[in-house]
């Protein structure tokens, strides 16, 4: 299976890694063009931070950030045969984005807006379904110590998918995301990464969003600003395990590395 690279575009002032960089319309459009020129597979656009300690914003404010650029980015991407995902947990935002023509909804809440399932079902939109215990993430609320994190995830996904199926969402439109950093400490996140193949028993595509996450802190006492080398190393390992999607900040770096690896027949984009 070919691993698809999702390039992150945060139109936020407070995201943990790149908050404020692409908040203006010009900056967002310029960076979207950069991602497209570098051949990213999917542009994942978000307008609300869900980092630990983030303050949730209103639906109106989220749409005010998205509306000036979403149609333009979608048109640019589709012209280049690149897909677009919108990172939101609000059903009305998802509906507006789907009406514009986006390809995926990336819902880090696990679709707990009751209307989200209806929107996804009616439009047959593909859904990134992420495991979480809280949104925004709460460092003090994590999976039980001593439990097998992958078992906890599998049971959660089974229950959530059953609920979504009853609400009319086709299983083949769901991509599961273990939610690295959401409800897991660093050790649990590393365990999930190392045992990611266990999630394949669910017979669904898998997306991993490990980019620049705090799990890398335990590798070095001198914390990096971006952890790009660490992120890329994990991405390569995931691609070699045939994980279908990886969601990363420096998509151009990943595409360069994957193009080299593809010469060895290991991975492709």
> Which residues are marked as active site?
213, 247
Q: Are 108 and 88 in contact (CB under 8 A)?
A: no
CB count in 10 Å sphere of residue 145:
8
Cβ atoms of 244 and 206 closer than 8 Å: yes
Q: Determine the Cα–Cα distance for residues 151 and 39; give it in Å rounded to an integer.
A: 36
Report the 10 Å Cβ neighbour count for 141: 11
**If you count them, how many residues does the chain have?**
269
3-state secondary structure 154-197: HHHHHHHHHHHHHCCCCHHHEEEECCCCCCCCHHHHHHHHHCHH
Report how far apart, in Å, the C-alpha atoms of 81 and of each of 10, 46, 84, 102, 200 are: 21, 20, 10, 12, 28
CA 15, chain centre distance (Å):
13
Hey, what are 190's tokens?
A: 């590393």
């Amino acid at each position: 299976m070919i691993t698809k690279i999702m390039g992150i575009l945060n139109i936020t002032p407070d995201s943990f890694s790149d908050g404020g960089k692409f908040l203006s319309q010009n900056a967002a459009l310029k960076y979207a063009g950069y991602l497209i020129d570098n051949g990213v597979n999917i542009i994942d656009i978000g307008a609300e931070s869900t980092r630990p300690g983030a303050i949730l914003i209103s639906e109106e404010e989220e749409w005010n950030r998205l509306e000036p650029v979403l149609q333009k980015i979608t048109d640019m991407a589709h012209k280049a045969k690149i897909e677009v995902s919108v990172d939101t947990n609000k059903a009305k935002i998802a509906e507006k984005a789907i009406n514009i023509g986006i390809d995926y909804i990336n819902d880090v809440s696990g679709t707990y807006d009751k209307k989200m399932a209806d929107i996804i079902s009616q439009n047959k939109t593909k859904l990134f379904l992420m495991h979480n215990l809280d949104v925004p993430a709460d460092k003090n609320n994590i999976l039980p110590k001593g439990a097998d994190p992958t078992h906890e995830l599998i049971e959660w996904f089974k229950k959530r998918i059953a609920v979504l199926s009853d609400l009319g969402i086709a299983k083949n439109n769901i991509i599961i995301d273990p939610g690295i950093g959401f409800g897991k400490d660093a050790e649990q996140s590393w365990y999930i990464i190392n045992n990611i193949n266990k999630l394949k028993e669910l017979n669904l595509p898998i997306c991993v969003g490990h980019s620049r996450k705090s799990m890398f802190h335990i590798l070095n006492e001198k914390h990096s600003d971006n952890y790009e080398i660490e992120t890329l190393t994990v991405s390569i390992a995931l691609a070699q395990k045939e994980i279908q999607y990886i969601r990363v900040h420096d998509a151009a770096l990943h595409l360069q590395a994957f193009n080299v690896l593809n010469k060895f027949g290991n991975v492709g984009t």
